[in-house]
A and B are shown apart, each in its own frame.
Chain A
Amino acid sequence: MNARACIIVPAFNEEKQIAAVIESIRLHSRAGIIVIDDGSRDRTVEVVKETGTLVIRHPFNIGYGVAVQTGYKYAFEKGYDFLLQMDADGQHLPQYIPDLFAMVESKKCDIAIGSRFLGSSYFPVGLLKLMGIRLFRIIIKVTTGQTITDPTSGYRCMNRKVLEKFTEDSFPVDYPDANIMIFLHRMGFRIAELPVTMAPNPEGRYMHQGLLKISYYVFKMFLSILVILLRKKENQ
C-alpha cells in the first residue's frame, strides 16, 4: 500500500460504533485514519481520541457533505495521493479497502466506488430509495453513457486529482451523490465500480428516510444535475 494514502470517516453521533469501525479498518489497512466529527453531541470525539486516531471536529453540525469535504481539504493540504472515504456506522465493510485502493493506485480509474448492487450479494433497500437509485442510474447513463449501479454509495476511493477538485466550492456539499458522478465524468475523470457487501445500519438509521426527505433529495439532485449539465464542459 502507498504510504501517502488515508481513510476519512465522517461521523455524527456514532459513539457506539466508531471504535469498532476504526479497529476493523486497522485490521485491513495501514493507511492513516482521519475521523471528521460533524459536531456530535455524544462522546464520539472522546471515543475516537481514546483509540489514538486523529479527529477533526466541526464547531457545529453542518452536514455529511461538508464533513467529507473537510476531510478532502485536510488530505489535500497534507499531500496525500489517495483517499478512501467510508461511513462511521459500520455499513461499509472494511475488507474491500485494499481492493478499492488497488483500483485507483493501479491507475485503472480516478475514482472507485463500492457498489452494493454489483455481484451476488443482496442488500435490502426500501422501495422509494430503490426507485430513486434506478432513476439516477438512468439519468447518469443518459448524460454520461456510463453505467453506475450505486450512485448513492459513500464508499469511495479517489486519487489526488479528484481530491483537489472536491476541495473547491463547486463541490455540492448538500448531497454529493449522482451529481458528483456526472460532474466528474464531464471533467474527463474515469469512474469505476467494485462489488462490495454492505451491512445494514445497526440502529436502522439512514440519511434519506421518509417521503418528504426523499422527495426533497430527488428535487435537489435534479437541480444540481441540471446546473452541472448547463455549466461549460471543462477538462480536469
Chain B
Amino acid sequence: MTTHQEIFAVIMSVTIFVVIITLVRNRKLKEEFSWLWLLIGVAVIIPVFWYDFLVKLTSWIGAVEATTTLFIFSILFLFFIALHSAIKVSQMSIQLKNLAQQISLLEAEKDRISKHIEEHT
C-alpha cells in the first residue's frame, strides 16, 4: 500500500467516524442505525495498519488484486446496509399500518361517544 493510499484511507475513516458521531449527537441518526456505518469506518482503516491481512484475504477469496477485495467488501457492506434499512422500513410499515388503523378506530369511537352525548344533553 502506498503512503498516498494510506493517508487517503485514514482521512476517509476519520471523516466517516466524525460524520456518523455528529449525526448521532444531533439526533439526525439513531444509534441503532449507526453501528453498521461505524463498522465501515473501522473496516476502511484496517488495511492501513494490517496490510498483510488484506493480502491474505485477497488470496482466500481468490481475487488477484487487493483493490478487488476492497471493492467486493465495500459492495457487500452496502448490501448489508440496504438490507438492514429494508428490514427496518418493513417493520415501520407494519407499525404505521397498525397505528393508522388504531387512529381510525379511536376516531370512530370518539364520533360515536360525541353523538351519544349530543343525544342525551
Contact = CB atoms under 8 A, between A and B. Distances in A.
Given A54-B112, A56-B107, A56-B108, A73 B101 contact: yes
A94 B108 CA distance: 25
B94 interface: yes
Interface SS majority for chain A: mixed
A56 B97 contact: no
Given A54-B112, A169-B94, A66 B105 contact: no
A173 interface: yes
A58 interface: yes
A227 B98 CA distance: 22
A173 B97 contact: yes
Interface string B91-121: 0001001101101110110001000000000
Interface size of A as a range: 10 to 19
Given A169-B94, A173-B97, A59 B104 contact: yes
Contact of A54 (B94, B98, B103, B108): B108
Interface SS majority for chain B: helix
Contact of A66 (B97, B108, B112): B97
Interface size of B as a range: 10 to 19
A74 B112 CA distance: 13
B55 to A, nearest CB: 42
Interface string B74-105: 00000000000000000000100110110111
Interface string A47-73: 000000011111110100010011001
Contacts, number: 35
A69 B105 contact: no
Nearest to B102: A73
A56 B104 contact: yes
B115 to A, nearest CB: 10
A70 B112 contact: no
Nearest to B107: A57
A203 interface: no
A51 B63 CA distance: 72
Given A59-B100, A62-B100, A169-B94, A70 B105 contact: yes
B86 to A, nearest CB: 15
A98 to B, nearest CB: 26
Contacts of B103: 59
B94 A70 contact: no
B100 A60 contact: yes
Contacts of A66: 97, 100-101
15 contacts: A36-B104, A54-B112, A55-B108, A56-B104, A56-B105, A56-B107, A57-B104, A57-B108, A58-B104, A62-B100, A66-B100, A66-B101, A70-B101, A73-B101, A73-B105
Interface of B: 94, 97-98, 100-101, 103-105, 107-108, 112
Given A55-B108, A62-B100, A173-B97, 12 more contacts: A36-B104, A54-B108, A54-B112, A56-B104, A57-B104, A58-B101, A60-B100, A69-B101, A73-B105, A77-B105, A169-B94, A169-B98
